[in-house]
Amino acid sequence: MTTTPPSSSKKKKRKKSGSPSSFKEVALHARFSLLPHALDDIRIHVFGLLQDALMRYNEQIGGAPIAFSDIGLAPGCRHGRVYGIDPQVAHIFVEVRLKACVFCPEPSQHLVGRVTKVGADFVSLLVYGQFNASIASGNFGDVTYDEATDRWTRTDETVSVQLNTRILFELLRFETQSGILAMEGKFIRVVGQDDAEPSNGHRVGC
């Protein structure tokens, strides 16, 4: 899938606090390369490729799409174009227009993650129930690891970070590998504690 966000893409919304949201909605023009067997139902095959693209970082979009909507053939592109004369290797290019809700975090943004692993050198987090993040020991300030309790705490016990603790952190940087997004952050404060791993989905959206 090759995508081209047009200049009319919506900018990020701002939260009530004034800080930009980590989500944006963009209008896309996408080109799909399909094999001849996809002609039996092009719609199903296009939807399958879109499904594969969900939650994976896309450089052309500038984030990880979490949902697609308003999917249809691009204006003036009611027919696919066949490239190649050998039926074994020929491809059909289909032009599609759609909207995408995209998770596109930027350094200095504040995000909330739930602790999924506690270690002496780092804490692993899950942001919006989908995206991986971590906070290294050097980014915890005066909060230190207590091996006896397997927690990160302050000496006055005003902070306790353990499994399922929800943490507000500042995004320092992120990396991607094969579409998987990994974020690194700096501890700000604890915002809550879940009794157990949530069984329902996290509310996200544009």
Does CATH place domain 110-193 in 2.40.50.140? yes
171 has a pLDDT exceeding 90: yes
Average pLDDT over residues 183-195: 95
* 12-66: pLDDT as tens digits: 555 554 567 899 999 999 988 888 778 788 889 899 999 999 999 999 999 999 9
Q: Model confidence at 8, in pLDDT bands (50, 70, 90)?
A: very low
3-state secondary structure of 7: coil
**Residue pair 26/13 in contact by the 8 Å Cβ criterion:** no
What does the pLDDT look like over 72-107, one tens digit per residue? 888 876 655 555 555 556 678 888 999 999 999 999
Q: Which of 80-89, 109-118, 129-138, 171-180 has the lowest mean pLDDT?
A: 80-89
- The rounded mean pLDDT for the chain is 86
Nearest CA among 164, 70, 104 for reference residue 190: 164
Question: What percent of the chain is predicted at pLDDT more than 70?
Answer: 81
- What's this model's pTM, rounded to 2 decimal places? 0.81
Domain segments of the chain as ranges: 2-103, 110-193
> Are the C-beta atoms of 63 and 24 separated by less than 8 Å?
yes
- The third-level CATH classification (topology) of the domain covering 2-103 is Dna Ligase; domain 1 (3.30.1490)
Q: Are strands 165-177 and 122-127 parallel, antiparallel or unpaired?
A: unpaired
pLDDT of residue 36: 78
Parallel, antiparallel, or unpaired for β 180-193 and 131-136? parallel
Is 2-103's fold the same as 110-193's? no
Contact 139, 74 (CB under 8 A): no
